[in-house]
Structure 1
Amino acid sequence: MSDLPVERLGSKQPPYNHTDVDYFGPLYVPVRRSTEKRWGFLFTCLTTRAVHLEIIPSLDTSPRVMGIERFIARRGTPSTIWSDIGTNFVGAEKELVACIKSLNGMALTIFTHQGVT
């Protein structure tokens, strides 16, 4: 078994300072006389293992970015956000990095990709 990442071992840090993110679903939700698909956006604190859920209407980039913005508005800005290397996170990463660069001119890495074994 490999060593745990440093972010997982942090103590005396606020919750969600180091966060893992993933999707689940689809969930079928009744809307009027039909059903629509929704997906769960799962944020997990790497230190305390606390869970935050956001429901998003699609897997497009815009709802993903809005889900991350809602998470940050509620829980604060994390130092790192870990995810798998799924293609559904690549567009959101590019959009968030471009937005942050335009705001303050700094190059920040939002997602740290980790391969799934």
Structure 2
Amino acid sequence: MPDMNDILKMAQQAQQDLAKAQGELDNIEVEGVAGGGLVKIKTTAKGRIVGISIDDSLMSVDEKGMLEDLIAAAFNDAKGKADQAAADLMKRAMPAGFPVPGQAGSPF
């Protein structure tokens, strides 16, 4: 088990790595899709929407309700992918062996 000095050094390194990873989140782009590709929303892992694509076939007043539903579904798909990309990046940023509070063997 690491001593407190080792844990403090690991914590400082983890803080630096996490700050760097946070900065990278806006560079990771994911695409949410709905309606078999009729509506696509591109977003960053930080949640910033960078683009929306709507198939021309949905551009009619009769399709307004379906279009609204598809936009919401595509956004939720993109948000889920962005959240997963962010979680994966944060996980990679944590140093191996860093004690996580609540885990067995953790001094916290």
Shared fold, TM over 0.5: no
- TM-score by length of structure 2 reads 0.25
- Tell which has more relative contact order, 1 or 2 (C-alpha 8 A, sep 6+): 2
From the two aligned structures, give the one with the greater strand fraction.
1
Q: Which of 1 and 2 has greater Rg? A: 2
- TM-score w.r.t. the length of structure 1 is 0.24
